[in-house]
Amino acid sequence: MAVLLRTLLQSGRFPRVLGRPLGPREATLGTDSGAAVRVRFAPSPTGFLHLGGLRTALYNYIFAKKHGGSFILRLEDTDQTRLVPGAAENIEDMLEWAGIPPDESPRRGGPVGPYLQSQRLELYAQAAEALLKTGAAYPCFCSSQRLELLKKEALRSHQTPRYDNRCRNLSPGQVAQKLAKNPKPAIRFRLEEAPAFQDLVYGWNRHEVASVEGDPVILKSDGFPTYHLACVVDDHHMGISHVLRGSEWLVSTSKHLLLYQALGWPPPHFAHLPLLLNKDGSKLSKRQGDIFLEKFAAAGFLPDALLDIITNCGSGFPENQMGRTLPELIAQFDLTRITCHSALLDLEKLPEFNRLHLRRLVSNATQRHQLVEKLQVLVEEAFGSQLSDRAVLDPAYVERTMLLRQDHICRLQDLVSPAYSYLWTRPAVDRAQLGTISEKVDEIAERVLG
C-alpha cells in the first residue's frame, strides 16, 4: 500500500485526483431478475449464536430455499482482539442443529471461498488500492491519541463524535513526509452526497452520512478491513444477490452504496429486518445468558419450536399460527409481508410451542423411535444405579410411557423429572421421613409389607 501511495505521488496524479469531486448518483438495486438468489449470514465469532442471530439466519435460509437459491455462512473475524475461542465452530454447529445448514461455509467450503474474512485480506487490499487510484480513498496518519481527543471533545460539547477529515486534503508533499515516518497509514473512504436507495422492507431511504459523519476508515494500518469495506468486497465477490440483515445496519447502507459506486460494482438488493426484542420492548442482550442456542438445546427444547416462536412473533407470513414446521415456513414466507415493526419475543410461551412440536414427533412412528432412544439415555443419566428393574428401559415400555404422558409434558426431559421418577424407580422413603408423617410408622410399615 505504501508503494502505491508513493507511485501516485511520483506520477503527479495524486493531488488532482484527490481534489476531484465524485458527484452524486442514484443507486440502483440492480441485480438481473434472472440471476440466482444468493444470500449470506455473516456473524462475527465474538460470541456464540443466540436467538437474534438465529432469526437473521433463518430469514436468509427460508428466502434462499423459497427461491431455489443458496444460503452462505461467512464469518467476519477481522476484529482479532474480540474473537471468542470456539465461537466459530459453535455458530455452524448450532445452524446445523437448528436444521438450517449453510450450503457454503468455512466447514463445508464452496466455490467462492475462503469463508473467513481473515483469509481474504488480499481482496480488501486490492479494493483499497483501486479506491486510492481514483481518489475515492486517501491515507490517514492521525494517531489513536488524536482521534480519542476528538471524541472526548465532541462528547464534552454534547456533539456526535466524528472524524474531522483532517487528512483528506493533505498536499503531496505532506503525504510524502508522513509516509517516510509512517509507511503503513490507515485508509479512509471519502464520503460524498449519499445515493437514495429502496429497501425491500423500509422503502425509499437516503441518509446524508457525509454531513453527520467523518470519512470512515476502511482499511486499518494492520491490513485488516473494517466492516464497511469487507462486507461490500465479500458480497460482490461472493455474488450475493440479496442482503437480509438487521435494521441496525440501515443507516450504514448509504456508505456501502457509495463504496459500490466508487468501485464500479452493482449493489445487491437490501432488506433490513426489524429487531427481535424482549416482550417488554428491551433489546435481547448476550448478558442475559439464556438467549444462546446451546442453552435451549441442553434444556431439551426442539429446534422446530425455536424456529416457530421467533417467526410467530414477527412478520413475513400470511398469519400468525403456532406449530409451523420448517417446510411450512418456507412455503408461506413472503418478503413483502415483513413490516417495520419490531418483533416482541415472549419466551414464557416457548414450552407451549415445544409441546406442540413434541406431540408432532411422537405421532410419527419413525421420529417416535428416535425419541425412545433419547429417552432411554435420559433415564440412564438421571437415575443410573437407582434402576433396580432394568425392564423400565425396554423400548416397548418407554414408548408406552411416552404415549401416555405426551399431553402432560412440554419437553422429553420432563419425563425424568422428580415428579415422574416413579415411572422408572421404586419409591423409597426412609424411616425418619415417615416418622414426621405419623407416629404409627412401624405399624403402617408392617401392614404394607405384610
Burial bucket for residue 169 (CB in 10 Å: 0-12, 13-18, 19+): exposed
Name 39's bridge partners: 71
In order of 178, 189, 207, 209, 218, the CA distances from 192 in angstroms are 25, 9, 11, 8, 15
**DSSP E strand boundaries for 220-359:** 242-246, 269-273, 276-278, 343-345
Catalytic status, residue 295: no
Q: Which of 33, 135, 104, 116 is nearest to 76 (CA)?
A: 116
Question: Residue 146: CB partners within 8 Å, gap ≥ 6?
Answer: none
The three cell numbers of residue 156 are 464534552
Residue pair 368/396 in contact (Cβ under 8 Å)? The answer is no
Instruction: Give CA–CA dist 364/357, Å, rounded.
Output: 11
Instruction: Provide DSSP, 27-46.
Output: ------TTSPPEEEE---SS
Q: Which of 184, 279, 283, 286 is the catalytic position? A: 286
Instruction: Give CA–CA dist 441/364, Å, rounded.
Output: 48
Per residue, the 3-state secondary structure of 419-448, as one string, reads: HHHHHCCCCCCCHHHHHHHCCCHHHHHHHH
Exposed e or buried b per residue across 393-428, where buried means at least 16 C-beta atoms within 10 angstroms of its C-beta:
beeebbbebbeeebeebbbbbbbbeeeebebbeeee
342 membership: H or E segment, kind and range: none
**DSSP E strand boundaries for 32-185:** 38-41, 70-73, 137-140
Residue pair 261/189 in contact (Cβ under 8 Å)? The answer is no
Q: Which of 100, 95, 99, 36 is nearest to 68 (CA)?
A: 36
The three cell numbers of residue 391 are 425392564
Residues annotated catalytic, as ranges: 286
